[in-house]
Structure 1
Amino acid sequence: WRSMFIQTQSTPNANSVKLLPGEPVLGKVATAEFNSIRDAQTSPLARKLLVIDGVNSVFLAKDFITVTKDSHVEWAVLRPELFEAIMDHYSSGEPVLSEGALPDHDCTIYPEDSDVVAMIKELLETRVKPAVADDGGNIIFRGFDEVSGVVDLELQGACSSCSSSSVTLKMGVENMLKHYVPEVREVREVKGEEKAELDSVSNKALSDLESKLLEKGYIR
């Protein structure tokens, strides 16, 4: 592992770099993002990178890692530490994600998805995600409101703090979705707190549904 060759690729975000270790990272079509050491309890690799002074967030994908840094820290200083942490991880034999930790499979199409949601997920998976991954980032589907026609998307990796990402979201992704899916009227970016709020609303809705099903004896 000491002879491991880690490639670096620049991204549209000057504070993010894409690292390709030449080994599988998540090794499957899924992603995971960590914005603090506390977040990274399920990922030994992300923890090793987040303890480095100046590292803000770590994004893991199939075969690459995107690290986003503080603007006042120079890559020349940070890069050797990042390389060392990655090599240490791969020589340790530890998993990238702990057993039981779930990567983000946001575009899986479920039987209960409407035709519109299924089409949105398919377009994101086949047309948007590959292009965004080239730049060291990802776009996560967080929901579609059938009434307002608003699609909620979360930006990850190099995209999440890039000044041009909101323009890309509006001009590129929104226009493409509206073209193929007439029911889509707008694309909205969901950030940290809003995402937590959406998750809690979703969890409450699931909990309420479960209670109703229990009452009616559909589930035991």
Structure 2
Amino acid sequence: MRGSVTRLARRVRVIPFQRPTHTHGNRAFFFIIPPRLGATTSFHHNAFFSSPSPFRFPTGQRRSMFIQTQATPNPSSLMFYPGKSVMEVGSTDFPNPRSAMNSPLAKSLFAIDGVTRVFFGSDFVTVTKSEDAAWEFLKPEIFAVIMDFYSSGQPLFLDSQAAAAMDTAIHEDDSETVAMIKELLETRIRPAVQDDGGDIEYRSFDPDTGIVKLRMQGACSGCPSSSVTLKSGIENMLMHYVPEVKGVEQELDAEDAEAALSGQME
């Protein structure tokens, strides 16, 4: 989340990442073939420029897929880029398996032992794991699930009416202050936060106290530096452009609140 603070302050695209064995730029490239189809997972060093032999799927069509990964400031979250559009509009956060019942992809990811949260961005999927799970074992399973989903032709959501939460949509009954807050969140703050594999959701503004309440999503939820992002990045920007804003507070969902309570009790 510290990367978000830097971008919010300077508007410079600097994405923190851990350099993997095979890279191009700031992302790791993987050429994936589903293990259960008889092939082994392979890593293609120069996948971006090369044209490896395509894999023949049961449909008879020749397809190949490159899945890239990118680290986030949250060591428990990793971004997966399927090379295809994920969310056409907005983003969707799945904090638990119950919330994923309407999405075949999210539901399949939660079926992997060790996956605790899933987030859909515009062109990436952020997966969060439990502390005792290891990425070296999770990544091949996640690759296979993403590959299977995009080759199956299934919709991202079973309910065709399901859409991303339009929390920053400006309504007729919104005050001028709320409209300004939403516009800043959508145009200046959200893009920087999404670069770190997460998002923010506008919850409310109290005109009496001047407090804006936001909910962190994806990799930003539970990230050790999320409080720095809120205070040093988002809060400073909102207070600078909207004088009515006196502070920003994070509103926790049920899972995060329970985790925070458990941490205090230990």
TM-score by length of 2: 0.71
Q: Alignment length, in residue pairs?
A: 195
SS in 2 for 1:6: strand
SS in 1 for 2:145: helix
SS in 2 for 1:8: strand
Q: Distance in 1 between matches of 2:239 and 2:171?
A: 22
Which position in structure 1 is the counterpart of 2:211? 150
2:232 corresponds to which of 165, 168, 171: 171
Q: Does 1:26 align with 2:87?
A: yes
Q: Does 1:84 align with 2:151?
A: no
Q: Does 1:46 align with 2:106?
A: yes
Q: Give the letter for the 1:181 counterpart.
A: V
Check the 8 A contact 1:31/1:105 in 2, yes or no: no
1:112 corresponds to which of 169, 173, 179: 173
TM superposition shift of 1:157: 0.6
SS in 2 for 1:17: strand
TM superposition shift of 1:193: 3.5
After superposition, the CA RMSD in angstroms is 1.7
SS in 1 for 2:155: coil
Question: 1:166-199 CA distances to partner (integer Å, 9 max, x unpaired)?
Answer: 1110111111101110100110100014999xxx
Q: Distance in 1 between matches of 2:162 and 2:209?
A: 34
Q: Distance in 2 between matches of 1:37 and 1:195?
A: 14
SS in 2 for 1:42: coil
TM-score by length of 1: 0.85
TM superposition shift of 1:120: 0.3
Question: 1:80-102 CA distances to partner (integer Å, 9 max, x unpaired)?
Answer: 00000001111111111221222
Question: 1:122-178 CA distances to partner (integer Å, 9 max, x unpaired)?
Answer: 111111111011110101101101111110100001100110001110111111101
Check the 8 A contact 1:153/1:188 in 2, yes or no: yes
Structure 1 pair 83/194, CA: closer, same or farther in 2 (3 Å)?
closer
Q: Give the letter for the 1:63 counterpart.
A: D
Q: Does 1:16 align with 2:77?
A: yes
Which position in structure 2 is the counterpart of 1:68? 128
Q: Give the letter for the 2:192 counterpart.
A: A
Structure 1 pair 49/153, CA: closer, same or farther in 2 (3 Å)?
same
Q: Distance in 2 between matches of 1:171 and 1:17?
A: 24
Structure 1 pair 59/101, CA: closer, same or farther in 2 (3 Å)?
same
Q: Give the letter for the 1:190 counterpart.
A: E
Structure 1 pair 96/192, CA: closer, same or farther in 2 (3 Å)?
same
SS in 1 for 2:66: coil
Q: Does 1:138 align with 2:199?
A: yes
Q: Give the letter for the 1:81 counterpart.
A: E
Q: Distance in 2 between matches of 1:139 and 1:132?
A: 7
Q: Distance in 2 between matches of 1:195 and 1:38?
A: 15
Q: Distance in 2 between matches of 1:194 and 1:25?
A: 25
How high is the sequence identity, in percent, across the aligned residues? 54
2:241 corresponds to which of 174, 177, 180: 180
Q: Distance in 2 between matches of 1:19 and 1:96?
A: 16
Structure 1: gaps of 5 or more residues: 197-220
Q: Distance in 1 between matches of 2:254 and 2:112?
A: 25
Q: Give the letter for the 1:32 counterpart.
A: T
Structure 2: gaps of 5 or more residues: 1-56, 58-62, 258-266
The structure where helix makes up a greater share of residues is: 1
Q: Distance in 1 between matches of 2:112 and 2:125?
A: 15
1:161 corresponds to which of 206, 218, 222: 222
